[in-house]
Chains A and B, each alone.
Chain A
Amino acid sequence: MKVELLYAALTLAAGLFSLGLLGLLLRRNLLLTLLSIELMLNAANLNFLAFSRYHNEPTGAIFVLFGICLAAVEAVIGLGLIVRVFRTHRDLGYTNLSALKW
């Protein structure tokens, strides 16, 4: 695989990651923040896969597989927590969810 392809893929991953980061910083709603996190995870997956292709190593691919599975678990648990929070507070905005402070 040519280097340019790798480069392109990695740049794409970087861009997706930055977009996800932007969403993480800007979104004021729990659920949509979680969404941004999923975007970042995908960027990382792309990174791994690009290198796996480049070096023809299985490790990257395995990582991606695991990454996807773990992202699934994490999303499920996160969503469960969000449901819980909603039931208690009736709100998913940040302004009222600030009990953990000094």
Chain B
Amino acid sequence: MVSQLLPLAIGLPLLGAAALGLGGLWVPTLRSQKYLFGTLATALVGIPFVIFLLTFFSYTEPLSVQGWNWIAIEPRRLPLGFYVDTLSLWMALIVTGIGTLIHLYSIGYMSEDEGAWRYFAFLNLFVFSMLVLVLADSLPLLFLGWEGVGACSYFLIGFWFAEEGNAKAAQKAFIMNRIGDLGLLAGMIWLFAETGTFDIGLLKKGIYPAEVAIGIGLLLFLAATGKSAQIPLYTWLPDAMAGPTPVSALIHAATMVTAGVYLVARMDFLFTAAPEVLTVIAGIGAATALIGGLIATRQYDIKKVLAYSTVSQLGFMFAAAGAGAYMTAIFHVFTHAFFKALLFLGSGSVIHSTGTQDIRQMGGLRKLMPITGWSFWIGTLAIAGLPPLAGFFSKDEILAALYARGSAGQTLYYIYWTVLLAVAFLTAFYMGRLAWLTFEGSYRGSAHPHESPAVMTIPLIILGAGSVSAGWLGLPPLLGTSWIREHWLSQSIKEPPLPHLSHGTEVVLLLLSVGIALVGLGVAWRLYGRDALQADDALSAKLGAAHERLLYQLGVDKLYERSVVQVFYVLSDFAKDAWGAWVGQILPRAIAQAFAQVGTLFTRLQVGYLPSYILYLAVAGLLLLLWGLWG
């Protein structure tokens, strides 16, 4: 039964995108129907969620649905196929579940916007693309979804395209993604050259020599860095905050950016065959987490703080994947989706009612917007890793995995573990700073903040509940069994064996995780408990130059601009001037002249004097004869 509903689940958002988009395009009068587009879009994502939920409850074994042949060059064929196993189903649930909540929220958030019809069409299209990505059974189809989410990201970041900055941010995101996509394409084709198939199920059974696995692994990871904002392709994510906040919540927190992590988990067999690549992945993950965390501590734009936080948390996920703990990474994807979406939607609520994104203009909002305030605090505590909220369990598992990998003889992972421990501290710190500066104390701004309508607060409440409880699906060995690990994801993901940590070590690590979270929050409280803004300014003064550098995001953008972008400007100037002149003017004229001269030459042959013609005949005849005899 479910197999028949699957195409419906995937197709409904596509249908929604088409209907809403074309309807709004061709029938302009519909656009003013405030709640029509939003409600329709939400339903067309909600129904797939229900379908996936039913699939989940009735799940017994992986489901494969194959359809029409996308590419058919006999004897090779590539059918469009979807593969529902525990991993892809879980991702689909996250996408449609959180997606539905965000659609609902958007009804309220975008109610005053004239372009709401476009917005919902794109949002539906995004959900469709993401579903294609996670449910694809072959790499090209996955790539289709991969590109699709990239394109929707472009549309949605640049939603208010009249502002040049927004358009540029969208462009930046897309181009950086594209660079990564090269990696996916190259890796995919190399894989095909090695094995002769694109089907993931068949690829799983392959045996890959070390060099091949390393090469392909690095290429695929390049794609992941682009999509999931890791070093070096991460600078697009903070800029992507130019889009509407629900977009930031859905795409740049809960779903699209996790596609990279999904890719690694999906191709677990490949990465396990290339341990060197795993080390690189973990290293980059740790480094990115550190940079993201550091920059987040000094930002004044509420969305930028959350953006860098996302970059940092994604680093956590890749660090886990790099330790071989793919399931742990997906677990963190799961918990992170809840509290990050919550935090973003909360920030959206705040932005909606105060009209600004600068936290220095806020303060005391919890009393003015209680639901937003309390749910935001829950999100903050969750991301900080305070038990028993969600973030604690997944983060603790990541740290434990890194430590275990370190104890297995790869001491590099000990370093990663230390770095991530520090980042956990930073996370708690900067989130505490954000929460205190925004919601506590007294209001510093000039607007009249009020609580948002129910359409927006209900998703906050639901996400809050999730942020509290989501972690309980993955209890550490000390406290019980991890359902998500033992009974669910392990059916689809195979991790390289990790050494067992002794009971004592486990206790220590657990306490460390809790401790770090408490310390971070404690420091934040100590600093920002009262007079938050003043304390922050004092901190900036104390940090001095470091504050400046962090505030300006370590100048990475400038670096890229100078090195990469400038090169392209030089090349295009050269193309326009030198090359353009050459190809456009000089070369055509030279060719034309050459032809004219040859033509003049030939006209001289036509003299009208018969003996000349006879001579030509005789000579040519001789030559022809010679050629015929000895040609």
Contact = CB atoms under 8 A, between A and B. Distances in A.
A99 B608 CA distance: 6
30 contacts: A21-B618, A24-B614, A24-B618, A25-B611, A25-B614, A25-B615, A25-B618, A28-B611, A33-B610, A94-B609, A94-B610, A94-B611, A95-B609, A97-B610, A98-B607, A98-B608, A98-B609, A98-B610, A99-B608, A100-B606, A100-B608, A101-B606, A101-B607, A101-B608, A101-B609, A102-B603, A102-B604, A102-B606, A102-B607, A102-B608
Interface residues on A, range: 10 to 19
Contacts of B611: 25, 28, 94
Interface in B82-107: none
Interface of A: 21, 24-25, 28, 33, 94-95, 97-102
Nearest to B615: A25
Contacts, number: 31
Interface of B: 603-604, 606-611, 614-615, 618
Given A24-B614, A24-B618, A33-B614, 9 more contacts: A21-B618, A25-B611, A97-B610, A98-B608, A98-B610, A100-B606, A101-B606, A102-B603, A102-B608
A25 B611 CA distance: 7
Nearest to B613: A100
- A-B CB proximity, top 10 nearest: A101-B608, A98-B608, A102-B606, A102-B603, A100-B608, A98-B609, A94-B610, A101-B607, A101-B606, A24-B614
A34 to B, nearest CB: 12
Nearest to B609: A98
Nearest to B608: A101
Contacts of B604: 102
B563 to A, nearest CB: 61
Q: Most chain-A Cβ atoms within 10 A of its Cβ — which of B603, B604, B608?
A: B608
B602 to A, nearest CB: 9
Contacts of A100: 606, 608
Contacts of B608: 98-102
A100 B603 CA distance: 12
B615 to A, nearest CB: 6
B137 to A, nearest CB: 72
A95 B609 CA distance: 7
Interface core residue of A95, A97, A99, A100 (most chain B CB under 10 Å): A100
B450 to A, nearest CB: 92
Contacts of A33: 610, 614
Nearest to A28: B611
Contacts of A95: 609
B616 to A, nearest CB: 11
Contacts of A94: 609-611
Nearest to B607: A101
A94 B611 CA distance: 8
A97 to B, nearest CB: 7
Contacts of A99: 608
Nearest to B610: A94
Contacts of A21: 618
A44 B611 CA distance: 22
Contacts of B610: 33, 94, 97-98
A100 B612 CA distance: 12
B430 to A, nearest CB: 87
Nearest to A99: B608
Nearest to A26: B611
A97 B609 CA distance: 7
A101 B608 CA distance: 4
A24 to B, nearest CB: 6
A93 to B, nearest CB: 10
Contacts of A98: 607-610
Nearest to A30: B610
